[in-house]
Amino acid sequence: MKATFRCAVSPLLLLLSCGSAVDPDPAAPVAPVAPVAPVALHVLAAASLSEVLPQAAEGWRAAGGGTVTFSFDGTSRLAAQLAAGAPADLFFSADQAWMDQVAGQGLVRVDSRVDLLGNRLVVVVPATSTARPPDLAGLAELPGKLALAGESVPAGRYAREALGAAGQLPALAPRVVSGDSVRSVLAWVARGEAAAGVVYATDARVEPRVTVAFEVDEALHTPVRYPVAVTTGSAAPQAAADFLAWCAGPGRDSFTSAGFQVLLP
C-alpha cells in the first residue's frame, strides 16, 4: 500500500480557492484534477551516510515518494558547496558546528533543523594486523601512521577532541595523516597504508578489510550527532521536509540496521 504523505497548502492558494466573488456555474463541466507527481530531490550528505541514505531513499520512492539523488563528501566540503550555490533540498551534516555555520549564512531553514542521528567513534586496524591496541594510549605502541579525518571534518574534530582529552594528541600528532573525509581514513586503513584510524562505528561495518580494535569512550568527545535541515534554496521544501520525516519514521529501520541511533521519537 502506498503511504500517504503530508501536504501543505499555502495561505495564498487557500485564499484563491475559497475567496472567489463569482459562484461557479453548476452546468459547467468539471475539469479533471491531475494527480500530483512525486517530486525529485537532491541531498548533500556526510560521507558516512553513503550506504544508508540511498537505502532509505529507495524505501521512500517505493512508498510513493519521488527520486532522491545524493552528493556525499566531508561535511566541511559540502558546506562550502552549499555556500557556493550548489543546488540542494536537504543538508545532512555530521556535526553541529557546520550546521550552525550554514544556518548563520542563511542557507538552511532553521525551523526545519532536527538532530536526526547519533553515532559512535571507533579505532580500526587492518584486518590482517595482529596488533589490537586496547585504548587510545595503546596507539603509541603501534608502528606506522595514524589516520584521522582533517581538522575541519567532523570525524576529525571528534577524534582530536578525544585524543586531546586522553592526553595522547601531542605524542601522536607527528604520525597523523589527515583525510578529506572519514571514508578516506577508512580506505587508508583497509589498504594497510595506516596502522590505525579513527572512524565512525557505522563505517567499520561496511568495510570487511578493517577490524575494530576498540570503541572510543564517549565521555572524551562531543556526542556524535547528525543535524539535518531543509535548504533555503530548495525548490521543493515541503517534499524535502516530508522525506526527512520519512527518514525519522517509516524509514528509520534503514538507519538502525546500519548501526545508527535515530534520535527522534
CA atoms within 13 A on the CB side of 89: 20
Predicted local distance difference test score (pLDDT) of residue 14: 26
**The C-alpha cell that represents 164 in the structure block:** 586531546
The percentage of the chain sitting over the pLDDT mark of 70, rounded to a whole number, equals 86
pLDDT number for residue 37: 76
How many angstroms separate the CA atoms of 216 and 43, rounded? Answer: 30
Average pLDDT over residues 211-234: 98
Instruction: Tell me which residue has cell 560521507.
Output: 47
Q: What integer is the mean pLDDT of 184-202?
A: 98
pTM: 0.85
Confidence of residue 26 (pLDDT cuts 50, 70, 90): very low
Q: For 42-75, write each residue's pLDDT tens digit.
A: 999 999 999 999 999 999 999 999 999 999 999 9
Q: What contacts 41, CB < 8 A, 6 or more positions away?
A: 66, 67, 68, 69, 89, 90, 236, 239, 240, 243
What CA–CA distance (Å, rounded) separates 97 from 148? 18
Identify which of 199, 200, 193 has the alpha carbon closest to the alpha carbon of residue 175: 193
